[in-house]
Amino acid sequence: MAGHPEVPRIHKRPGLASLASLVHVRGRNRDAIELYRWVLEMRPDYPEILINLGHCLIMVGKVEKSREAYLAALRLDENLEGAITGLVYLDEREGDFDAAWERLAPCLAARGVGSVSGAVAGAFATMAGRLDKVDEAIETAERSLSSMRRDGGGGAAEMNLRFAVGRLYERTGEFNQAFAYFQDGNALTKEIFDAGKFETEINSLIEFFNNPEPEIVADNLDETPVFIVGMPRSGTSLVEQILACHQKVHGAGEVPYLFEAIDTMSINNPMNVPFSQFLGLAGQETLNGAARQYLECLRHSMPETLQMTENLRITDKLPGNILHVGMIQRLFPKGRVIHIRRDAMDTCLSCYVQNFGERLPFTTNFEHLAAYYAGYDRISRHWAGIMGAQMLELSYETLVADTEGESRRLLEFISVPWDPAVMDFHSSGRVVTTASYDQVRQPIYHGSIGRWRNYGEHLQPLAAALMRQNIDVEQ
């Protein structure tokens, strides 16, 4: 979850608990949940594990289960900041700001604004705009950062807090200060993006997936899955939120099911040949098995109240699936792909100022951002050329300018009737756990278009890097 407290380090029972934490940090939330639950079977009074379990559960959309885990941790120790701030983030994302502040205020009062932990300072920074306490939150966070630096700093807590302070300065219009905090936060990322390897991957995909009518496809004709793809921060959450307000659409969020289904195909690759070559050898049964696994996971994600809905559509909005559109074409001949395209400068800035931690290391460096965007641009244009009517391209800027017209086009594309409820998407009680959770709770606004201009000269290196990659940049 963007802006979520860091995963607590596990000092006790180092074996399985440490493995679970490592899997969690790597973003494999479903696997981590299973491991955390195994640990709790042996040791139910393990508060750090309960807190980490709560973090994972919210990432897979299990909001109430997440709340139960945090509350169970607090029953063991009512002062556990990880559980308190976890509940604060849940309350805030559900729009219950009074409840969030009631949980947070005692933590601030107990320690005093000059000595709060990074977790509490981060939660306060997230809440500050709701509470008209931005200046106070900045002071609290900066004091906490000073304390972290004296203690060595450099961890996930400092990274999270630097991005939070950057957002506060952006809110007050102090863009020079905001950029400095975003820059320092990105500098703390240890993962390195290999631009050359990514370019090779894009070249391989384009070379192999070049047939509008592949010879072998899965034999299922299921129209349930709708894949929403694009760059991170391009508007995928907004599109899913609009669609999910339709009575015949369930928004599954960012789920890893396609990656997992593809991984099962690789298991049957005893010669360990490159995947694109292996796919050429895969028979229909192999494709059928991967498609079945994906659909089972996707349907398992939806509420029981929708189980009997006819002609249901389920959206999968993992932006990274842009790399797997060729696989989608083969696994789901009747599936649909919605590609969201957004201005390159706005998209890259939005990635840069969002704390994606170790998950998306290309977002922390302008040269790497430009290289990734160029690869994304090439592969998305390639897919558009071979997917035909199975893929719809949508402009984020056009969606903002003509929300109803583009929403009608979206619903027509996935073959469901018009429902005016989609125009009230911002009033939905649906909890969104991605970085765009706040934007989708507001009516359509134009403030995110041309946002990059606020940062002026700071973004000239980004513009230059994009132009070197032959990406058009508006001056």
Residues 373-388 pLDDT 10s: 999 999 999 999 999 9
Q: What pLDDT was estimated at residue 275?
A: 66
pTM, to two decimals? 0.87
pLDDT over threshold 90, residue 399: yes
Question: Which residues, 6 or more positions from 401, have their beta carbon under 8 angstroms from its beta carbon?
Answer: none
pLDDT in tens, 356-375: 877 899 999 999 999 999 99
Question: Which residues, 6 or more positions from 183, have their beta carbon under 8 angstroms from its beta carbon?
Answer: none
Among 41-45, 275-279, 435-439, which range has the highest average pLDDT?
Answer: 41-45
Q: What pLDDT was estimated at residue 151?
A: 73
Q: What pLDDT was estimated at residue 154?
A: 66
Q: What pLDDT was estimated at residue 280?
A: 65
Across the range 22-49, mean pLDDT stands at: 85
pLDDT in tens, 414-465: 999 999 999 987 665 555 555 444 554 555 667 789 999 999 999 999 999 9
Across the range 337-354, mean pLDDT stands at: 97
Q: What pLDDT was estimated at residue 60?
A: 78
**Residue 402 CB neighbour total at 10 angstroms:** 14
pLDDT in tens, 161-175: 999 999 999 999 999
Q: What pLDDT was estimated at residue 1?
A: 41
Mean pLDDT of the chain: 87
pLDDT in tens, 211-259: 898 888 999 899 999 999 999 999 999 999 999 999 999 999 888 899 8
Question: Which residues, 6 or more positions from 462, have their beta carbon under 8 angstroms from its beta carbon?
Answer: 345, 348, 349, 352, 366, 369, 370, 452
